[in-house]
């Protein structure tokens, strides 16, 4: 029999996924019915780059709080309908067990209309794990709304790593030619021996566009739930530069 807390987690996850799918459905309908469709080639530049500075405050249950700081670098290069890219996460902080590690994620993409089919490999130094991943991006605009949806499946291939699913998305609204506001969310759920592990994130987005680049701020809260430690919140603060 499932516990009440487990049932609530499943309900919240279904609501979150349902909200993203509803927004995605509206945007697909807009793309089909719009008289002047936005050319897909303009939805993402041939070369894109993002550098993000990270500051996290962890509040583990029954343990002292600690902080992490880090840097995230992302790049994607398109050649026709094909692309290659990579993401690198680096952390360092006050907790020597949790901190001071990095993750590398090279990938390739194939573009079809508003969709990018993505596949690659993820390696991390925290647990020594390796995962092959595949999924799809959905990138579109609905008037002043910008939508990005990124579901992926990660298959563990090294060091007995558990499989997991990662669902990420955001919606941004241009309040003026230079300023945008938005919301973002993410859910990660593990399978196999780590099936009791769930992670979720909800946050805000504020952007300022300049001539050739964009500056952004992203405050957020995350919830990390395991059977052993319960639920531990983390407060995020991100500032990023992209072009």
Which residue do the tokens 């894109």 mark? 48
| This model's pTM is above 0.85 | no
* CA pair distance 229, 200, nearest whole angstrom: 16
Q: Which domains does the chain have, with CATH numbers?
A: 4-242 (2.40.160.40)
Q: If you average pLDDT over every residue of the chain, what do you get?
A: 83
Residues 6+ apart with CB under 8 A from 31: 37, 114, 140, 142
- What count of residues does the chain have? 243
CA distance 240 to 17: 26
CA distance 158 to 162: 9
166 pLDDT higher than 60: yes
What is the tens place of the pLDDT at every residue in 87-125?
999 888 666 555 678 899 999 999 998 999 999 999 998
pLDDT in tens, 45-98: 789 999 999 998 888 777 888 888 899 999 999 999 999 999 999 888 666 555
> Over 90: is that where the pLDDT of 157 sits?
yes
Please tell me the distance from the alpha carbon of residue 22 to that of residue 132, in angstroms, as a whole number.
29
């Amino acid at each position: 029999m499932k516990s009440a807390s487990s049932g609530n987690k499943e309900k919240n996850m279904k609501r979150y996924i349902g909200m993203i799918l509803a927004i995605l459905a509206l945007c697909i309908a807009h793309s089909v019915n719009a008289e002047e469709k936005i050319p897909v080639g303009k939805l993402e530049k041939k070369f894109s780059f993002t550098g993000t500075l990270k500051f996290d405050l962890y509040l583990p249950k029954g343990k002292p709080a600690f902080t992490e700081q880090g840097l995230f670098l992302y790049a994607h290069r398109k050649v026709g309908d094909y692309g290659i890219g990579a993401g690198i996460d680096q952390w360092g902080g006050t907790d020597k067990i949790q901190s001071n590690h990095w993750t590398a994620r090279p990938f390739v993409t194939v573009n079809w209309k508003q969709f990018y089919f993505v596949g690659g490999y993820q390696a991390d130094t925290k647990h020594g794990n390796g995962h092959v991943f595949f999924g799809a991006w959905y990138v579109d605009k609905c008037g002043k709304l910008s939508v990005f949806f990124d579901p992926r499946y990660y298959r563990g291939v090294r060091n007995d790593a558990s499989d997991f699913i990662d669902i990420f998305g955001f919606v941004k609204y241009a309040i003026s030619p230079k300023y945008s506001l938005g919301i973002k969310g993410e859910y990660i759920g593990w399978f196999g021996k780590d099936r009791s592990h769930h992670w979720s994130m909800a946050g805000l987005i504020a952007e300022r566009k300049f001539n050739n680049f964009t500056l952004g701020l992203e405050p957020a809260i995350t919830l990390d739930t395991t059977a052993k430690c319960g639920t531990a919140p983390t407060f995020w603060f991100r500032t990023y530069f992209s072009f």
